[in-house]
A and B are shown apart, each in its own frame.
Chain A
């Protein structure tokens, strides 16, 4: 092996180790925040964690980790109920203090139950009513392109969210306007509030729907961080249409008793023993567990 390729491989290993660490920290802080709040949606926060880690850790260009630079990339969490994971990934990146995810849902804090842009500007917009964040991201992509700003816009949607009519209004709109600076990501964990998507309102054939609406659609394993990186690179290299990354994920990923169980979608009150087990399975240190659960 040549020196150059060895160096490249070491770089790549370092990137992946870093992304794995961001993802782990994101999951830990999200669960700790939900435990401390006594409510919140753990399932969809955990399924989104690898996607968020790769986006913030490797893809988004956010100078200074603030929303101050007009030329920054934008990320909109349209599935606003995954706020615990969003605040957690910012803390994992060092953009905000750990106190932000840990103060989740507390009165008088910036850590609102769903992201609010006036409290936490990195939210980019306020979400929590499904379908709207996606449209707002489309507006950002249109507005940036209109002003010749080369930044990219990313929006993460839930699968259940795609039952909203507004999502398909937006899908038509982004394709019609040829918004190649827009990349949507669906956290396709197959579960929603009450049951499996397929039992509530089936989405399949899902990728075919997006393609029929004029999008470039990529399907990946949403926990394979190398695949996420590759998909985002493919999206950035697509110049004639918006891209949708359909990320197949597992709801509750990383916590054995939560994985693929609809019960853990909704806003739950986590018990101390459940939380201790979850944090241990997610690789939290004893010190962190003790601090967070105090």
Chain B
């Protein structure tokens, strides 16, 4: 009987890109340590464990303790990177709040397996609330990079940033959005494709789908701008206002509940600066279910045609506004 093949190490996933980047970054950053709750194989952290075994700390299936321990390790001058699935980060939100954010500890919380991208494990495992929960914690920076290249850059930016960070990776093989040469800055959105009728603002796996949606719209003579908003907090309010000014309609797209995540952050920024019609692509306040990520994205309206349809709704409101 042959050994079962593990599906954890998906070569071009965001989690793998994170794990490889972290292992490399640790070579020149002695204070970097990594904390795991028995899923290093799934979070990409196995690369770090292999390269830096003495700096890899195991906590077992006990995320609340692990999260607060990270605060304590940071208090001694280390830079702890805590990793688990996004849904288990939710389990330790209060530890992240008190022992990390309130105490202003330099801890990086890296969450793999967010959203419907989790796939067949089903609704219990698909975190749709993490961006909202962590965004609401004072002083917490929240990131959701778009592709493996950006993930590596964002990992470095997070590690070198002085303060608590929550960062989403991803389980499934990720589409490539960037070639080499991309510059990642915390707090800065990035215009991937220019356009003047409507702006599609996306994060994570939805960025590639938004680019595809822009092509669909172009075929109908609609010019869509695409923004990769990899920093959910602090949101790039200037860029959001500029997009409202220059295109007059906005669609947000995220693998997350439409309440409180990227859509919420963009809408909050808009009403403060320059309101315009906004349509939200994401989970409409429902839980997910088992299925392959692509099947789920289609069923729950996260794919390019659904983003394009939302863009047309926003355009219609803009014209009739």
Q: Which A residues form the contact surface with B (CB < 8 A)?
A: 70, 116-118, 124-129, 131-132, 135-144, 146-147, 149, 165-166, 169-170, 172-173, 176-177
Kindly list chain B residues whose C-beta atoms are within 8 Å of the C-beta of A124.
75
Judge whether B70 and A139 touch: CB under 8 Å. Answer: yes
How far in angstroms is the closest Cβ of chain B from A101? 21
How far in angstroms is the closest Cβ of chain B from A95? 18
The residue of chain A having its C-beta at the shortest distance from the C-beta of B67 within the complex is A135
B 73-94 binary contact with A (CB < 8 Å = 1; else 0): 1111110100000000000001
How far in angstroms is the closest Cβ of chain B from A27? 28
Judge whether A70 and B68 touch: CB under 8 Å. Answer: no
Judge whether A139 and B75 touch: CB under 8 Å. Answer: yes
Interface centre among A137, A138, A176, by most chain B C-beta atoms within 10 angstroms, is: A138
Judge whether B75 and A125 touch: CB under 8 Å. Answer: yes
Q: Which of B110-156 contact A (CB under 8 A)?
A: none
Q: Tell me the complex Cα distance, A142–B73, Å.
A: 7
* B62: Cβ under 8 A from any A Cβ: yes
How far in angstroms is the closest Cβ of chain A from B77? 7
Known: A135-B64, A143-B78, A146-B33. A125 touches B69 (CB 8 A): no
Q: Tell me the complex Cα distance, A125–B104, Å.
A: 10
A-B CB proximity, top 3 nearest:
A139-B72, A143-B76, A135-B68
The residue of chain B having its C-beta at the shortest distance from the C-beta of A155 within the complex is B72
B78, B95, B102: the one within 8 Å of A146 (CB): B78
Judge whether A136 and B76 touch: CB under 8 Å. Answer: no
Kindly list chain A residues whose C-beta atoms are within 8 Å of the C-beta of B57.
142, 177
Q: Tell me the complex Cα distance, A139–B64, Å.
A: 12
* B59: Cβ under 8 A from any A Cβ: yes
B 42-80 binary contact with A (CB < 8 Å = 1; else 0): 000000000000010101101011011111111111101
The residue of chain A having its C-beta at the shortest distance from the C-beta of B78 within the complex is A143
Judge whether B75 and A126 touch: CB under 8 Å. Answer: no
Interface centre among B94, B99, B104, by most chain A C-beta atoms within 10 angstroms, is: B99
* B98: Cβ under 8 A from any A Cβ: yes
* B192: Cβ under 8 A from any A Cβ: no
Q: Tell me the complex Cα distance, A138–B76, Å.
A: 11
Judge whether A138 and B69 touch: CB under 8 Å. Answer: yes
Judge whether A129 and B71 touch: CB under 8 Å. Answer: no
Judge whether A170 and B65 touch: CB under 8 Å. Answer: yes
* B103: Cβ under 8 A from any A Cβ: yes
A139, A149, A177: the one within 8 Å of B68 (CB): A139
Judge whether A139 and B69 touch: CB under 8 Å. Answer: yes
Q: Tell me the complex Cα distance, A141–B73, Å.
A: 8
Judge whether B60 and A172 touch: CB under 8 Å. Answer: yes
Judge whether A169 and B62 touch: CB under 8 Å. Answer: yes
A127, A140, A173: the one within 8 Å of B60 (CB): A173
The residue of chain B having its C-beta at the shortest distance from the C-beta of A171 within the complex is B65
- 26 pairs, A vs B, C-beta closer than 8 Å: A70-B77, A117-B75, A118-B104, A125-B72, A125-B75, A126-B98, A126-B103, A128-B98, A131-B64, A132-B94, A135-B64, A135-B69, A135-B71, A135-B72, A138-B65, A138-B72, A139-B71, A142-B69, A142-B72, A143-B74, A144-B76, A146-B55, A147-B76, A165-B64, A170-B65, A176-B60
Known: A135-B72, A136-B69. A129 touches B64 (CB 8 A): no
B59, B62, B99: the one within 8 Å of A136 (CB): B99
Known pairs A131-B68, A143-B77; list 15 more (Cβ under 8 Å). Answer: A116-B103, A125-B71, A125-B75, A126-B102, A127-B98, A135-B95, A138-B65, A139-B68, A142-B69, A143-B72, A146-B55, A147-B77, A169-B64, A169-B65, A173-B60
The residue of chain A having its C-beta at the shortest distance from the C-beta of B62 within the complex is A169
The residue of chain A having its C-beta at the shortest distance from the C-beta of B101 within the complex is A126
Q: Tell me the complex Cα distance, A126–B105, Å.
A: 11
The residue of chain A having its C-beta at the shortest distance from the C-beta of B63 within the complex is A169
Judge whether A136 and B68 touch: CB under 8 Å. Answer: yes
The residue of chain A having its C-beta at the shortest distance from the C-beta of B105 within the complex is A125
Kindly list chain A residues whose C-beta atoms are within 8 Å of the C-beta of B99.
125-126, 132, 135-136
Kindly list chain B residues whose C-beta atoms are within 8 Å of the C-beta of A173.
59-60, 62, 65, 69
The residue of chain A having its C-beta at the shortest distance from the C-beta of B33 within the complex is A146
Q: Tell me the complex Cα distance, A138–B95, Å.
A: 14
Kindly list chain B residues whose C-beta atoms are within 8 Å of the C-beta of A117.
75, 103
Q: Tell me the complex Cα distance, A177–B57, Å.
A: 9
Judge whether A139 and B73 touch: CB under 8 Å. Answer: yes
B 245-258 binary contact with A (CB < 8 Å = 1; else 0): 00000000000000
Known: A118-B104, A129-B94, A172-B60. A140 touches B65 (CB 8 A): no
Kindly list chain B residues whose C-beta atoms are within 8 Å of the C-beta of A70.
76-77
The residue of chain B having its C-beta at the shortest distance from the C-beta of A123 within the complex is B103
Kindly list chain B residues whose C-beta atoms are within 8 Å of the C-beta of A140.
72-73, 75-76
How far in angstroms is the closest Cβ of chain B from A140? 4
How far in angstroms is the closest Cβ of chain B from A112? 10
Kindly list chain B residues whose C-beta atoms are within 8 Å of the C-beta of A135.
64-65, 67-69, 71-72, 95, 99
Kindly list chain A residues whose C-beta atoms are within 8 Å of the C-beta of B103.
116-118, 125-126, 136
The residue of chain A having its C-beta at the shortest distance from the C-beta of B71 within the complex is A136
Kindly list chain A residues whose C-beta atoms are within 8 Å of the C-beta of B59.
173
How far in angstroms is the closest Cβ of chain B from A26? 25
Q: Tell me the complex Cα distance, A136–B70, Å.
A: 7
A116, A132, A147: the one within 8 Å of B95 (CB): A132
